[in-house]
Amino acid sequence: MKILVVEDERKVARLIQQGLEEEEYEVAVAYDGEEACALASANNFDLLVVDVMLPGKSGIQVVNELRTSGATMPILMLTAKASTEDKVAGLDSGADDYLTKPFAFEEFLARVRSLLRRGTQDKSTVLSLCDLQLDTVSHKAKRGGQTIDLTSKEYALLEYLLRNKERVVTRAAISEHIWEYNFDTGTNIIDVYVNHLRNKIDTSAHPRLIHTVRGVGYVMKKE
């Protein structure tokens, strides 16, 4: 597996590279946004690890440019910013997951493994289930040929559910991917957003696609 690490702090980049190489991954490193785009365009990487704060082009610009050009490899975004808005911006740019600095390397490796598994399962930029389609480049959703308007959080939630279709995802997992890590899962905000999404994709169409697994979370599948 070939991984591109995009990190301008050379000490951090070296530590990440060494850790990945110890796990027998093949690793290349870019130290700015321009170099990252050039390397990613010229090579077939299985995964990109991209820091948000980069000289030249920001990590968000890099990811957006690559997705616009049709790149489909999984992308893990690293950020020192912990706000929900920053994380949503990263996901909306086309990243598949994010990790807030500082992080435990064991968690980093777990996310790398998860994204690599996901990448081998689905290289398409269009996620679909039944007559629902979500274009991860244009961020446009359609069901039965009808365009669905989504907010940034609704898009991120729908993308996460579609990438895990046929699998139950817990509220804790949703909160980690869409909201902050210290998000209070005792509130009903996740249920509220799921209901918003249901109203947009399930109310006037059949079969229903978003299902509640009582006491656990949600699953996206045909009835």
Please state the rounded mean pLDDT for residues 146-162: 89
pLDDT of residue 183: 52
Asked if 108 and 73 count as a contact pair (C-beta separation under 8 A), the reply is no
Strands (E), the chain: 2-6, 26-30, 47-51, 75-79, 97-100, 126-129, 132-135, 140-143, 146-148, 169-170, 210-213, 217-220
**104 vs 173 pLDDT, higher one:** 104
Buried b (16+ CB within 10 A) or exposed e, 89-124: bbbbbbbbbbbbeeeeeeebeebbeebbeebeeeee
Asked if 33 and 52 count as a contact pair (C-beta separation under 8 A), the reply is no
pLDDT of residue 86: 64
Q: Which two tokens stand for residue 142?
A: 């359609």
Q: What would you report as the CA-atom Rg of the chain, rounded to the nearest whole angstrom? A: 17
The answer, yes or no, to whether residue 43 has pLDDT greater than 90, is no
pTM of the model: 0.55
The answer, yes or no, to whether residue 203 has pLDDT greater than 60, is yes
Give the integer Cα–Cα distance in Å for 62 and 91.
13
Asked if 116 and 47 count as a contact pair (C-beta separation under 8 A), the reply is yes
* One-character DSSP codes across 9-54: -HHHHHHHHHHHHHTT-EEEEESSHHHHHHHHHHS--SEEEEESS-
pLDDT of residue 188: 79
pLDDT digits (tens, 9 = 90+) for 88-127: 776 777 888 888 888 899 999 998 998 887 765 555 578 8
Backbone phi and psi for residue 144, each to the nearest 5 degrees, phi listed first: 60, 30
Domains, the chain, ordered by start:
2-121 (3.40.50.2300), 126-220 (1.10.10.10)
Please state the rounded mean pLDDT for residues 164-169: 86
Burial, 137: exposed, middle or buried (Cβ in 10 Å; 0-12, 13-18, 19+)?
Answer: middle
Asked if 78 and 52 count as a contact pair (C-beta separation under 8 A), the reply is yes
Q: Which two tokens stand for residue 73?
A: 């490899």
- DSSP letter for 202, please: T
pLDDT of residue 84: 65
Give the integer Cα–Cα distance in Å for 113 and 133.
26
- Percent of the residues in the chain that have a pLDDT greater than 90, as a whole number: 45
